[in-house]
Amino acid sequence: NKGKYEHYMQKEIHEQPESLRTTMRGRLIRGGSSKGKTVLLGGLKDHLKTIRRSRRIVFIGCGTSYNAALASRPIVEELSGIPVTLEIASDLVDRQGPIYREDTAIFVSQSGETADTLLALDYALENGALCVGITNTVGSAIARNTHCGVHINAGCEIGVASTKAYTSQIVVMAMVALAIGADTISNQGRREAIVDGLIDLPNKVKEVLKLDEEMNDLAKQLISEQSLLVFGRGYNYATALEGALKVKEVSLMHSEGILAGEMKHGPLALVDENLPIFVIATRDACFSKQQSVIQQLHARKGRLIVMCTEGDVASVSVGGSCRVVEVPRVEDCLQPVINIVPLQLLAYHLTVLRGYNVDQPRNLAKSVTTQ
């Protein structure tokens, strides 16, 4: 049931404040004044000791689910102190890459039925790793065949392009990071700030959804472009990849997410006055580096659209010469949840304006059960 919406993708984008609330329901608790605020993940609690002792955490997934793991890697590394690597499921299986008994392998999948991810799960089980599932589908193959896990509880996602599952996956992985890090005193202040940030996140997502009209307007400007580049780094490298994936899979416009730190190692050659470039430059430890990327793209006459933190227009717009999208600021590790929303809206509006099928893009299936 689409309710007041025309398409499932549109409905699922707009229901993210609620889906995120459901994802967090009953899982963030105030453990009394001395203990502060913590996280309770029932499906993980008996395995946390093993996870904390593991030599490595490996996230495994495909498409959007992989991007969600990429968005969460920095906070999992920071709070766990354990090295974190990422694997695209098919590539791990193609390479028969090393997986050890001392590894924790975390499988991220909305459907819980993706063939590539399931094959990677069989492979990790054979190699003796502790296997954790993060899925949206109770009773799915990945939920059943892993040793333990967390359901994201985002509610049924019908649009082929994953939107609300992505933001809920990031929130669950941030909670997993909090749970793994919960036995260390040194980062307690940071953990409490993240819990506060999580509690307020649905309100901030509601605010960023007000950009709907603005993104429709931007889509009108971009409607007949051949291509769109999206630059991000740090916490928002994943936002660049995921934003570009949304644009290409539904609007059928070529789009590429690029790690801004790699700009000079090739992509800069593409820049001219015609190619639109979306730069994510919200406030975090990488902000000044992104400012200098904007300067350099501007110096090559790049056609820039910049996403920045509210109130930062003057710091990013190179003398008012580029279009700016302002978003609310949240705790740095949660910022990818906010920043993807305008790009989801852009992909949605581009698709409607270009006259393509939003909920069922050609050639794609919601659950990819074949290799």
Instruction: State which residue, 168 or 291, has the beta carbon closest to ligand F6R.
Output: 168
Tell me how crowded residue 182 is: count the other CB atoms within 10 A of its CB: 19
Instruction: State which residue, 54 or 109, has the beta carbon closest to ligand F6R.
Output: 109
Token pair of 328, please?
């609310």
Instruction: State which residue, 187 or 367, has the beta carbon closest to ligand F6R.
Output: 367
Q: How far is the CB of 61 from ligand F6R (least distance, A)?
A: 6
Tell me how crowded residue 357 is: count the other CB atoms within 10 A of its CB: 13
Token pair of 266, please?
């090739």
Whole-number Å distance between alpha carbons of 305 and 38: 38
Instruction: State which residue, 159 or 302, has the beta carbon closest to ligand F6R.
Output: 159
Instruction: State which residue, 121 or 182, has the beta carbon closest to ligand F6R.
Output: 121
Note the residue count of the chain. 371
Q: How far is the CB of 293 from ligand F6R (least distance, A)?
A: 26
Token pair of 140, please?
């799915």
Helices (H), 252-357: 287-299, 313-316, 335-354
- Residue 96, SS3 per DSSP: coil
Whole-number Å distance between alpha carbons of 5 and 14: 9
Q: How far is the CB of 32 from ligand F6R (least distance, A)?
A: 37
Residue 24 amino acid letter? M
Residues that bind ligand F6R (CB under 6 A): 62-65, 109-111, 114, 117, 161-162, 245, 249, 367-368
Q: Is the dihedral of CA 250, 253, 258, 260 positive or negative?
A: negative
Instruction: State which residue, 120 or 194, has the beta carbon closest to ligand F6R.
Output: 120
Q: How far is the CB of 73 from ligand F6R (least distance, A)?
A: 17
- Find residue 87's DSSP bridge partners: 60
Q: How far is the CB of 245 from ligand F6R (least distance, A)?
A: 6
Instruction: State which residue, 158 or 193, has the beta carbon closest to ligand F6R.
Output: 158
Q: How far is the CB of 58 from ligand F6R (least distance, A)?
A: 16
Q: How far is the CB of 89 from ligand F6R (least distance, A)?
A: 8
Q: Is the dihedral of CA 328, 332, 338, 343 positive or negative?
A: positive
Residue nearest to ligand F6R (CB): 63
Whole-number Å distance between alpha carbons of 357 and 95: 36
Q: Which of 327, 331, 343 is nearest to 242 (CA)?
A: 343
CB 108 within 8 A of CB 68: yes
